[in-house]
Structure 1
Amino acid sequence: MPFIEKNVSDAELERLVEERLVPALQSCGFCLLDGLLGELGDGVLEQVKELHRVGALQDGRLCGAAPGVHRRSIRGDKIAWVSGGERGCEAVSFLLLLLDRLVSVCARRMGIQAVKERSKAMVACYPGNGAGYVKHVDNPNRDGRCITCIYYLNKNWDAKKHGGILRIFPEGQPYVADIKPLFDRLLLFWSDRRNPHEVQPSYATRYAITVWYFDSEERAEAKRRFKDLTASNEQSSSSS
Structure 2
Amino acid sequence: MPLIEHMSDADLERLALDRVVPALLEQGFFYLDNFLGDLVGDVVLEQVEHLHGSGSLQDGRLVGRTGAGTPLGTPVPVPVPQPPGVPGRNVRGDKIAWVNGAERGCEAINYLLTLMDKLISKCGGRLGKSVIRERSKAMVACYPGNGSGYVKHVDNPNSDGRCVTCIYYLNKHWDAKVHGGILRIFPEGKSYVADVEPLFDRLLFFWSDRRNPHEVQPSYATRYAITVWYFDSEERAEAKQRFRDLAASTQKQGTSST
Give the distance between the partners of 2:32 and 2:241, measured in 1 at CA: 36
**Larger displacement relative to structure 2 (202-211 or 33-42):** 33-42
Contact 2:98–2:137 (8 Å) recurs in 1: yes
Matches within 5 A, 1:127-166: 127-166=144-183
1:85-234 pair list within 5 angstroms: 85-110=102-127, 112=129, 114-234=131-251
Bigger Cα displacement from structure 2, 144-153 vs 101-110: 101-110
Aligned to 1:47: 47
- Mapped partners of 2:122, 2:15: distance in 1: 10
Tell me how far 1:239 sits from its aligned partner.
3.4
Provide the secondary structure at the position in 1 that maps to 2:125.
helix
* Equivalence for 1:77: 94
1:22 to partner: Cα distance: 1.1
Cα offsets for 1:162-192 (capped at 9, x unmatched): 1100000000001100110000001000101
8 Å contact from structure 1 (residues 137, 191) kept in 2 = yes
Aligned pairs, number: 239
Contact kept in structure 2, 1:107 and 1:113, CA below 8 Å: no
Unmatched tracts of structure 1, length 5 or more: none
Report whether the alignment pairs 1:64 with 2:81: no
Which whole-Å deviations, capped at 9, do the CAs of 1:191-214 have from their partners, x for residues lacking one? 011000010110100000000000
Report the Cα offset of residue 238 of structure 1: 3.7
Q: For residue 162 of structure 2, what is the amino acid of its counterpart?
A: R
Measured in 2, the distance between the counterparts of 1:145 and 1:110 equals: 13
Q: Bigger shift: 217-226 or 107-116?
A: 107-116
1:87-108 CA distances to partner (integer Å, 9 max, x unpaired)? 1111111110001011111133
In the TM superposition, residue 227 of structure 1 has moved relative to its aligned partner by 1.6
Q: Percent identical across equivalent pairs? A: 72
Instruction: Give the TM-score taking structure 1 as reference length.
Output: 0.93
Q: Which runs of 5+ in 2 are unaligned?
A: 66-80
Q: Report the more deviating stretch, 88-97 or 225-234.
A: 225-234
Write the deviation string for residues 9-45 of structure 1: whole angstroms up to 9, x where unpaired: 2111111112210111111010010111112111111
Give the ranges of 4+ consecutive aligned residues of structure 1 lying more than 6 Å apart after TM superposition.
Answer: none
Distance 1:100 1:112, change over 3 A: farther
Residues 113 and 129 (structure 1), Cα distance of their counterparts in 2 relative to 1, 3 Å cut:
closer
Q: Deviations over 1:131-186 (max 9, x none)?
A: 11111110000000001000000001010111100000000001100110000001
1:229 counterpart letter in structure 2: L
Kept in 1: contact 2:125–2:131 (CA 8 A): no
8 Å Cα contact 1:149-1:210 kept in structure 2: yes
Q: Secondary structure at the match of 2:195?
A: strand
1:12 corresponds in structure 2 to 11
Q: Structure 1 pair 2/128, CA: closer, same or farther in 2 (3 Å)? A: farther
User: How far is the alpha carbon of 1:46 from its aligned partner?
Assistant: 0.8
* Amino acid aligned to 1:13: L
